[in-house]
Amino acid sequence: MRQLTVYYDPRCGLCCAVRDWLARQPKLVKVECLPATDPGAEITVISDTGEIWEGDSAYIVVLWALRDYRQWSKRLASPSMLPMARAMFAKLSQYRGTLSCSLGLEPEVR
């Protein structure tokens, strides 16, 4: 695997902020961020080898691609942490609109 393509929600300010943060991180696998064509869809990651990760798994795979967070992704994916990590990322996705508003993050598409 050489590249991951991340489809994010362009109507979500938090997602756009995370995309900018991702661009600044040192990576072990190339990461390309594209706005999802279906706004409101949950985050999806597709690798150049054809694997798809959706929802909470997608967050962990994106962390895995980052040099400084690979150990964290492995920790979060360990059997004892995974249910909690999934629940946390699911909540993050669910309330991303509310969070964007309260943090004052502007989306790129209204």
Partner 1 sequence: MFVMYAYVIYLVLSIAITVWVARTLHDNGRLFLIDAFHGQEALADSVNKLLVVGFYLINLGWMVGSLRTSEALNDPRVTIEFLADKIGTVLFVLGVMHFFNLYLFNRFRRRALDELPFAEPPVRPTGTLTRG
Enumerate binding residues for partner 1 (CB under 8 A).
1-2, 28-29, 46-47, 50-55, 57, 60-61, 64, 67, 70-71, 73-74, 76-78, 82
Contact 45/58 with Cβ under 8 angstroms?
Answer: yes
Find the shortest distance in angstroms from Cβ 103 to partner 1: 27
Find the shortest distance in angstroms from Cβ 25 to partner 1: 14
**Residue with Cβ nearer partner 1 (18 or 61):** 61
**Residue with Cβ nearer partner 1 (94 or 98):** 94
Contact 74/64 with Cβ under 8 angstroms?
Answer: yes
* Amino acid of residue 105: L
Dihedral Cα 90, 32, 99, 92, nearest 10 deg:
10
Find the shortest distance in angstroms from Cβ 87 to partner 1: 14
**Residue with Cβ nearer partner 1 (82 or 90):** 82
Of 83, 84, 62, nearest in space to 73 by CA: 62
Find the shortest distance in angstroms from Cβ 13 to partner 1: 26
Q: Look up residue 40 and give its DSSP letter.
A: T
Contact 102/18 with Cβ under 8 angstroms?
Answer: no
**Residue with Cβ nearer partner 1 (16 or 65):** 65
